[in-house]
Amino acid sequence: METYLVGGAVRNKLLGIPVKDRDWVVVGATPEEMLAQGFKPVGKDFPVFLHPETKEEYALARTERKSGKGYKGFTFHTSPTITLEEDLLRRDLTINAMAEDVAGNLIDPYVGESDLKKKLLRHVSPAFVEDPLRVVRIARFAASLGFNIAPETMALLKTMVASDELNTLVPERVWAEMETALAAKYPARFILALQSCDALKKLFPEIQALFGVPQTKAYHPEIDTGLHTIMSLNQSTRLSSDPMVRFAVLVHDLGKGTTPKDKLPSHHGHEKRGARIIDKLCQRYRIPNKFRELAMHVSTFHLDCHRIQEMTPKTIVKKLEHLDAFRRPERFAQFLTACEADARGRAGFEDRAYPQAEYFKRALQAANNVDVSVLQKQGLQDKALGDAIRKQRISNIKQLH
């Protein structure tokens, strides 16, 4: 019975990335032997056990094949005779098919260390095609590591996409990969990787529809809406590590993908059209409400934020109310960051200041500076109290000018 550290822990150790989770493979053991040593089984049909002290996962060496049933659509075969190399062969990428023995020696039968140095994502074997989720996972690795996809692997991805296997993916699993990618170091690479293998138009046609759609050059020197979206997403990465902000920026202009061709390059009304598209997208992938609500606010009100300094105090109070900024100041701060990313996501505007965010923030602070108890002591209540609070908020914002 031999135990090996495998997968992401080995990869991250070689990359100098802190190892948070460790997975182990056990060669030459049976389930009965694992139980006898105090390991706790995970589920009934899956050969994984939890260490009695560390609670880390220890999996029996196994082979697997696509069956269309069972755990994740695969059937597994475990045996004490299965080698470490056979177990590693079933993994997705060479950089994830490395192991380390108890002495710290690297076992690398599929040249994963070489691909790490080349910054390449390369599949281990033709069995890669058996799991369509790997199309999304490899895009997520591109976002996490900033690596390129090997040409032969890209060809395989395109074959998988053409087979319509992506239609079988569980929405929640796609979103889980996307959320991880949005929180990663290079989130735009997730979108570009999916686009390169033709998966973007199948999984997120709303985003794919933005590429090739022109915008008014005076406001968008980069012209192409898809390019603007990628540039804005990159700006959101500079401004925030929050995946909610990054998602909102990614989808803030979806309405432009539905602008009638005879209206181009103008996109009148794209804000509300986009909010409706975001709502449907979030329903399709079971995206949490906190992501959906922020994204819909950014879509609906981002142009208002850009023009906030031109608005009257009365209108500003209305915008703050629509954004629920008085009750949800943290989400309002996320909204401002997303709007700034949009403003900077244009050719030549990348490092330009965005004073609108600071002004809008100051307007909220001024509007909040109302002593409600004083108004209540005047006998005001219900609608009369609400009207008085709003009037005072407007008066406070006037003093900013």
The confidence score (pLDDT) of residue 64 equals 77
* pLDDT at residue 68, as a whole number: 58
Q: Are strands 62-66 and 74-78 parallel, antiparallel or unpaired?
A: antiparallel
| Domain's final residue, options 81, 112, 143 | 112
Whether residue 353 sits in one domain with residue 234: yes
Do both 98 and 221 map to the same domain? no
Looking at the predicted structure, is the pLDDT value of residue 70 above 50? Answer: no
In a domain, 187, yes or no: no
130 domain residue, yes or no: no
Task: Tell me what percent of the residues of the chain surpass a pLDDT of 90.
Answer: 86
Rounded to an integer, the average pLDDT of 142-146 is 97
Q: Taking the CA of residue 280 as centre, how many other CA atoms within 13 Å lie in the half-sphere pointing to its CB?
A: 11
Considering the domain boundaries, does residue 334 fall inside one? Answer: yes
pLDDT score for 374: 85
Please tell me the predicted confidence (pLDDT) of residue 316: 98
**This prediction's pTM:** 0.92
pLDDT band at 400 (very low <50, low <70, confident <90, very high): confident
Specify whether 211 is located in the same domain as 333: yes
Q: Tell me, yes or no, whether 349 and 245 share the same domain.
A: yes
Residue 4: is its pLDDT beyond 60?
yes
Backbone angles phi, psi at 284, to 5 degrees: -65, -40
Residues 214 and 321 in one domain: yes
Q: What is the CATH number of the domain that holds 41?
A: 3.30.460.10
pLDDT band of residue 359 (cuts 50, 70, 90) is very high
Q: State the residue range of the domain holding 95.
A: 2-112
Report the range of poorest mean pLDDT among 118-132, 321-335, 373-387.
Answer: 373-387
Domain of 252, CATH number, reads 1.10.3210
Dist. CA 174–CA 166, nearest whole Å: 10
- pLDDT value at position 69? 41
Mean pLDDT of the region 358-381: 91
pLDDT for 366: 96
* Residue 120 CB coordination number (10 Å): 18
- Domain annotation covers residue 184: no
pLDDT for 61 equals: 92
User: Tens digit of pLDDT for each residue in 86-114?
Assistant: 999 999 999 999 999 999 999 999 999 99
In the predicted model, is pLDDT for residue 251 greater than 70?
yes
Asked if the structure places residue 250 within a domain, the reply is yes
Where among 62, 77, 112 does a domain terminate? 112
In this predicted structure, the answer to whether residue 173 has a pLDDT above a threshold of 70 is yes
96 and 244 within one domain: no
pLDDT of residue 44: 72
Count of domains forming the chain = 2
Answer yes or no: is 390 within a domain.
no
**pLDDT of the residue at 345:** 98
Which amino acid would we find at residue 333? A
What's the pLDDT score for residue 78?
A: 82
Domain boundary among 96, 112, 128: 112
pLDDT of residue 72: 58
Give the mean pLDDT of 18-33.
91
- Same domain membership, residue 215 and residue 358: yes
Co-location of 105 and 208 in the same domain: no
Residue 271 lies in a domain: yes
* Per-residue pLDDT at 24: 94
Task: For residue 391, tell me if it sits in a domain.
Answer: no
Instruction: Give the range among 27-31, 45-49, 303-307, 383-387 with minimum mean pLDDT.
Output: 45-49
Inform me whether the pLDDT recorded for 330 exceeds 80: yes
- Same structural domain, 105 and 218: no
pLDDT of 382 over the 90 cut: no
